[in-house]
Structure 1
Amino acid sequence: RELLDLTCRLANTLKKYGIQKGDKVAIYMPVSPLSVAGMLACARIGAVHTVVFAGFSAESLAGRIVDSGCKAVITYNQGVRGGRIIELKMTVDEAVKSCPSIKHVFVAQRTDNKVQMGDCDIPLEEEMTKAAPVCTPESMDSEDMLFMLYTSGSTGKPKGIVHTQAGYLLYAALTHKYVFDYQQGDVFGCVADIGWITGHSYVVYGPLCNGATSVLFESTPVYPDPGRYWEVVQRLKINQFYAAPTAIRLLLNYGEEWVKKYDRSSLKTLGSVGEPINKEAWQWFYQVVGEGRCTLVDTWWQTETGGICIAPRPSEEKAEIIPAMAMRPFFGIVPVLMDENGKVIEGNDVSGALCIAHPWPGMARTIYGDHQRFVDVYFKAYPGYYFTGDGAYRTKKGYYQITGRMDDVINISGHRLGTAEIEDAMADHPEVPETAVIGYPHKIKGEGAFAFIVLKEQTAHVDHVKEELKTIVASKIAKYAVPDHILVVKRLPKTRSGKIMRRLLRKVVTEQSNDMGDVTTLDDPSVVKEIRDAYQKYKEKSSS
């Protein structure tokens, strides 16, 4: 009732200010009842929401607004995260300067602090109190757009993935019900942000379609202390708990006492999402958090798939679950593995490129404004199949283990990021003619970004340049995208046609440089030793 009232009032407010069916609305807010109402209000009037993670910079936000042609933004005056105040309205003001399509900015109050209000700014709660609490839902076609969500690719700017009304909702609802064994009356706790697909499918649409109670988690796993998740589990009696491996790895370092302090007896199912989970984190999650009695589902899916595609459940009752493995395809999902020549690999105990052979209801329909890119990215590599961009191993028993990305996309704390985006941001620095960014294994984040840069000859203040580069990346993308390491090299390893061989850089950083593979296509193979020596020096300096 309350959510419906909130949603209808917000919907009527949007309508009053000229938002109608088919219009795009950006939502730049952290997880909150109002941000969920914002998504549902758009859906109710047939407008298309594009939620932008509230950690993104003004430039990232503006890029998404311009690409999608949003007419309005819904935001808060400020955000509160882990005890810090985040200036959301200031970021929106900065972004909107370069967005001529924006007519109105709806500003809600998360804190009591006053913020600058301009001509196109509208105080949201004030308007909602004047609005009617009833709003008839717009009649929509099953293939009309429900929302867009931007995600990183291996090249170019982020792409606006389009999901439609009926198929997406059906798929989100069914996967929520069957993967997590959701029963009427359960309290479902997905601690993802609504800025990501996990928050769309398993905080908002899936649970609400099934009439579930869904928990909204605004904080961080370690604020005010590392017991935060488990305190919430105890207080709200959460039955299903769905989180990212990066959070589990972080909490594992704080020891078991923070978990054991709280009663977790309400938990029935645990879930892992966003990146492959390592065995140590899986075991800790299963044994310590779930006391060895909860089902633990490691779920594989993507922004593009709309919902979970491979997970240990649903299955026969009590069927085995292998640690750290996604295992079983969901109803209607037909995975295939392909070899380098585009041929289907038959049999078990084999590895290849993970593709899906048949369409399913939750799949993305296009990339907004660029259908050709959609075809090129997902359907060109293996004609007749959807290519996921991931590699996988099919075990002797026919289960699926995801082995990770096959392209230049890295996964930092569950945030998917094309290395090209970081490179493009750093390329703006006048002293840095060339950059190459790779992912490397990181104890907590899963992967971190490692940047190799070439400086102009007369550059003097190297450390100063490194700091400037970090600032540029934070302001152009987001703080999580900032490289952990920046190494200056004389030149980058390039093929004769000028393509940077990033796999060689990966080998140097992961210290497999004895096995460089085929370097015959390099313009000058001596570059490898040069970079290896520079890396060793950097490492010695860092450790001292």
Structure 2
Amino acid sequence: MRAGRPDDKEYDVPRYEDAYRDSLGNPEKFWLRAAEAIDWERWPTRALDASRPPFYHWFPGGRLNTCHNALDRHIAAGNGDRTALIYDSAYSGERTSFTYAELRDEVARFAGALRGLGVGAGDRVVVYLPMVPQAAIAMLACARLGAVHSVVFGGFAPRELAARIDDARPKVVLSASCGIEPGRIVEYKPIVDEALRLSDHRPESVVILQREQAHADLGEGDLDWDTLTAGAEPADCVPVGADDPLYILYTSGTTGRPKGVVRDNGGHAVALAWSMSAIYDIGPGDVWWTASDVGWVVGHSYIVYAPLLVGATTVLYEGKPVGTPDASAFWRVIAEHGVKALFTAPTALRAVKKVDPRAELLAAHDLSGFRTLFLAGERLDPETYQWATDTLGVPVVDHWWQTETGWPVAANLRGLEPMPIKPGSPTVPVPGYDIRILDDSGAELPRGSEGAICVRLPLPPGTLLTLWGDDQRYADSYLSRFDGYYLSGDGGYMDEDGYLFVMGRMDDVINVAGHRLSTGSMEAVLASHPAVAECAVIGVADRLKGQVPRGLVVLKAGIDTDPAQLRTELVAAVRSEIGPVASFKEVDIVSALPKTRSGKILRKYMRSMAEGREEPVPSTIEDPTVLDALRPVLRPEGG
């Protein structure tokens, strides 16, 4: 499946300034050169199709298969015996590795099983699995067939899963008998059954992977994973168009229909392969570990696809950084598997630091081959940065991106040109991203001025094409605020050296331990309680998790209820509807919520109050006396 570039001209690898300028000024040259790293069944006619703005498409006319590029081509090149994936479970103690040839065989067989269930190009498959090799196998098997996978994080409750099933309308749902969390087994089959009861759409098949920690009773129409796979004929790769969808990944937003980010095949493969070399300095044979979950975009991009696209070894780890089996889990995995670079969230480092502040457990592990620690998913606080730097003695590199972008927007490009690190900054715009800081009117702000972080269109390859089934919502959500720009939803500024500083979200999405969660969804749960008249959920700073949600509720008139019991009920409701991932533990009963004269709740102001940095009272506030009652509730002790 190799179709080379029309000419054999050699290019020098540019350094950052040249690469960035080239990517914006001559995207045809820049991205067609990057596309040479990918096998194409048919070479694209050009890099960018800009005929229908704001809907841009990359590599029109090109045909490829992402699974072929992740697995088969490395085997064809004689590297089938190279380790592709290492599975390490802190919970079960299992250690398993797959060579590229072994992983390809597993994927091809499972793709054959899906094909036997009628799955073909364009069909959707929902994947609700824990962190086991079968999760990666399922994703790659879908890609092999040209099917569209939609992975749902295993921590979500039935209603969240049901909403995604109804939106994606999958032909098949893949799940497991259970997942494992610290100190408990989470049975998945009841969650899937309840989600299907709540959903309007009925998939044709449900396939269950039985794990030894818990056995699931299969109902009528349910299929056993191993039985289904055992009799399957391996499937070959199915070439698809470069702009055909590879996956749908649902991201947090306002209440109602979830937002399904659509990722293509061609741009995704080119961008991720380029990023592994240029940003992370990872290539063939290097061992790379992303300590995240396949249910999040980080897991899609940098556990499964990117490392395999470049022929590296990826570590798929089931566990938490501390507590299972001990606080040195990070150090053990790095040493045991020869990890060159680790990508995780600052929350994980804070958890390790809390248990072992002097890093005494590090001494038992040989990290001599470890080169770089990459952090993303939330703001990296200076204290954690300094602790990690002093502890590990390697560059600690912050970078910034989103579910929607699929790969870094701002980074310190370690493989292209390493730059000085500034704590608090993810460094500079990545080639392809024309970042601008805009004020409310859409005017570009000077260096040092804080405003909305936006990216001038077109976005580079690998970013979202649209939202599943809803082009208008895509345009309304991301492109309507400023003409010709993608609105990131984050605020920040550029310093005099061109370094970006991301200061936080500007909407109702909060970042809990690297997980983007909608406060609007939590408010909907609180508002459904019969005692609640109105409510607000704000994200407040937390030393461990970055942000945690905090609820404020106003009771209906005449309600006589036990406050402690009500709090218990509300916390339980959010846990049931959103899932434990929300980390929702605090809710206060208040007499009123501060609002503008137009009725908008002043969430940002309450957040500043809760964090002890109360801002000037907004001139638009309807009743300033409401703040006097809120201060003793929200303000930290001594604040």
Same fold (TM over 0.5): yes
Match runs of 1:34-433 below 5 Å: 34-99=134-199, 100-111=201-212, 113-132=214-233, 134-154=234-254, 156-222=256-322, 223-254=324-355, 255=357, 256-288=359-391, 290-291=392-393, 294-314=394-414, 317-346=417-446, 348-358=447-457, 359-433=459-533
Q: CA deviation at 1:156?
A: 4.2
Per-residue CA deviations over 1:160-190 (Å, capped at 9, x if unaligned) read 1100110011111211221111132210011
RMSD: 1.8
**How far apart, in 2, do the equivalents of 1:479 and 1:196 lie?**
15
The structural deviation recorded for 1:535 is 4.0
> Is the contact made by 1:171 and 1:306 (CA closer than 8 Å) also made in structure 2?
no
Shift of 1:112: 5.3
SS across alignment from 1:217: strand
What amino acid maps onto 2:396 in structure 1?
Answer: L
Residues paired across the two proteins, number? 533
Q: Which letter does structure 1 place at the counterpart of 2:389?
A: Y
Whole-Å separation in 1 of the counterparts to 2:506 and 2:280: 29
How far is 1:508 from its partner? 2.6
- 1:339-387 per-residue CA deviation (whole Å, 9 max, x = no partner) reads 12111124x3332211111420011011112211110111111110111
The answer to whether the 8 Å contact 2:455/2:486 transfers is: yes
Structure 1 residues 350 and 523: CA distance shift in structure 2, 3 A: closer
Mapped contact 2:167–2:258 kept (Cα < 8 A): no
Assess if the C-alpha contact under 8 Å between 1:75 and 1:108 holds in 2. Answer: yes
The residue number in structure 2 matching 1:434 is 534
1:120-173 Cα deviation digits (max 9, x unpaired): 2100111111112x3111120111010000111255443111001100111112
SS at match of 2:532: coil
Residue 208 of structure 1: how far off its partner (Å)? 0.6
2:91 aligned partner: none
Q: Deviation of residue 62 (structure 1)?
A: 0.7
Counterpart amino acid of 1:375?
Answer: A
Give how far 1:511 is off.
Answer: 2.7
Please name the residue that 2:597 is paired with: 496
Moved more, 59-68 or 147-156: 147-156
Letter in 1 for 2:599: G
The structure-2 alpha-carbon separation of the partners of 1:470 and 1:198, relative to structure 1 and needing over 3 Å to count, comes to same
Cα distance in 2 for residues equivalent to 1:475 and 1:402: 32
Identity of aligned residues (%): 37
Secondary structure in 2 matching 1:411:
strand
| Whole-Å separation in 1 of the counterparts to 2:182 and 2:580 | 15
User: Structure 2-normalised TM-score?
Assistant: 0.81
Q: Find the counterpart in structure 1 of residue 608 from structure 2.
A: 507
Range that drifts further, 398-407 or 241-250: 398-407
Q: Equivalences for 1:482-493 in 2 at 5 Å?
A: 482-493=583-594
TM-score by length of 1: 0.94
Unaligned runs of 5+ in 2: 1-100
The residue number in structure 2 matching 1:30 is: 130
1:82 CA displacement:
2.9
Q: Secondary structure at the match of 1:162?
A: strand
**What residue number does 2:631 align with?**
532
**What is the distance in 2 between the residues matched to 1:277 and 1:118?**
46
Q: Compare 331-340 and 56-65 and name the one that shifted more.
A: 331-340
1:470–1:482 CA contact under 8 A, matched in 2: no
1:473 aligns with 2:574: yes
1:45-90 CA distance string (max 9 Å, x none): 1111000000111111111111111121111111123352111112
2: CA distance, partners of 1:439 / 1:145: 33
Name the SS for the 1:354 alignment partner.
Answer: strand
Amino acid at match of 2:631: R
Residues 236 and 392 of structure 1, relative CA distance in 2, 3 Å threshold: same
**d(CA) in 1 for partners of 2:139, 2:575:** 27
| Cα pair distance change 1:253/1:452, threshold 3 Å | same
Distance, in Å, in 1 between the alignment partners of 2:637 and 2:428 is 42
Output the amino acid matched with 2:560.
T
Q: Which range moves more in the overlay, 375-384 or 83-92?
A: 83-92
* Partner Cα distance (1:477, 1:235) in 2: 36
* Cα distance change, pair 489–355 in 1 and its aligned pair in 2 (3 A): same
Q: What do residues 72-114 of structure 1 show as CA deviations (whole Å, max 9, x unaligned)?
A: 1111111123352111112111111233321211111222532
Cα distance change, pair 482–190 in 1 and its aligned pair in 2 (3 A): closer
Q: Which runs of 5+ in 1 are unaligned?
A: none
Relative to structure 2, which stretch is displaced further, 255-264 or 439-448? 255-264
Report the CA distance between 1:276 and its aligned residue.
1.3
Tell me, yes or no, if the aligned pair for 1:337 and 1:344 is still in contact at 8 Å.
yes
Matched-pair contact (CA < 8 Å) for 2:156–2:581: no
* 1:102 aligned partner, one-letter code: P
Matched, 1:13 2:113: yes
Q: Deviations over 1:181-240 (max 9, x none)?
A: 113221001111000000000011100100110000111111111111111111101111
Q: Give, in angstroms, the shift of residue 269 of structure 1.
A: 1.6
What one-letter code is carried by the residue in structure 2 that aligns with 1:163? R
Quick one: structure 1 residues 217 and 316, their matched pair in 2 at CA, closer, same or farther if it must change by over 3 Å? closer
Q: Secondary structure at the match of 1:487?
A: strand
Equivalent pair of 1:425/1:473 in contact (CA under 8 Å): yes
